[in-house]
Amino acid sequence: MWGMEQEHSALAAALALQCDWGADEALMESPVDRLAVRDAPARAPEAARPAPEPTPPRPIRAAPVTLAAAPPAVTRAEALAAAAPDLAALKAALAAFDGSPLRETATNLVFGEGVADADLMLIGEAPGAEEDRAGRPFVGASGQLLDRMFASVGLARESNFYITNILPWRPPGNRTPTDAEVALFLPFLRRHVALIRPKRLVLVGGVAAKGLIGGKEGITRLRGRWHQVDIPGLGPLPALPTLHPAYLLRSPASKREAWADLLLLRRTLDQAPG
């Protein structure tokens, strides 16, 4: 017979395994299909529900049913983003936007922070667990590395740049955002950039780089040189893709390339007029 201690360590091992698999948020005891729940009509409790009526005979020729199709989520995202006149309105629109199930599993919206009219804007991938808890971008281990890297070329979010992410909600288990999620939130991000009006972008990691530059090239090919990104209402902006600090934590040897990117950024800023 197992003692309590063995039972506890077996449970702890099972829990650790779940975390390793990425299931690190306790939501409910059993899974809920939220789309089905949202679309289902309200049901009376079992005991109070009247006995079903006998089914009436079906008409031979039913009148055609016309359903007003809801606009696709991307179209709604575009309309909501375009209608936001300032950062506060954009944040409220993002919080209210129900076009993505990510909102249901995340804890806090992670909007952005830093200098609201900065010449430089950094765009990352998506909040992780710590960002989700704090409601602030890049505050976990990779955010701390990012702050140290930018400080080494004299740049800080408190005084020199604004920082946000492609996705404002944490994907469960920190999985990589899907292309569909990136496409859904791009209208909000582009509006975010248009409202900050930076002169340059730094795209932190492959998801941000691919989301804004497009094409098939990965981050190792894109990084290290300036590209152009079109922002509606603002025009073409120079954008510098660089390696994500989460990647650098796993592959410290690549810090050399990230350092080269930072030096390129510093040189460009030093040569910029004004």
Task: Name the residue nearer to ligand URA (CB basis): 78 or 145.
Answer: 145
When binding is defined by CB under 6 A, the residue of 111, 138, 161, 169 that contacts ligand URA is: 138
How far lies 98's CA from each of 34, 93, 103, 222, in Å?
12, 10, 7, 33
Residues within window 8-67 making contact with ligand URA, judged by CB under 6 A:
none
Q: Does 131 bind ligand URA (CB under 6 A)?
A: yes
When binding is defined by CB under 6 A, the residue of 114, 127, 168, 187 that contacts ligand URA is: 127
Task: Name the residue nearer to ligand URA (CB basis): 136 or 227.
Answer: 136
The residue range among 34-42, 114-122, 131-139, 151-159 that interacts with ligand URA, by the rule CB under 6 A, is 131-139
Q: Which of 189, 130, 184 is nearest to 162 (CA)?
A: 189
Which own/partner contact pairs does 29-35 have at CB distance under 8 Å and 24+ positions apart?
Answer: 34/101, 34/104, 35/101
Beta carbon of residue 42, minimum distance to ligand URA (angstroms, whole number): 38
The residue range among 19-27, 111-119, 120-128, 194-202 that interacts with ligand URA, by the rule CB under 6 A, is 120-128
The residue range among 4-12, 40-48, 92-100, 133-141 that interacts with ligand URA, by the rule CB under 6 A, is 133-141
Residue 118 bridge partners (DSSP): none
Residue 162 bridge partners (DSSP): 114, 121
User: Position of tokens 């129900």?
Assistant: 98
Residues that bind ligand URA (CB under 6 A): 124-128, 131, 137-138, 140, 142-143, 165, 205, 246
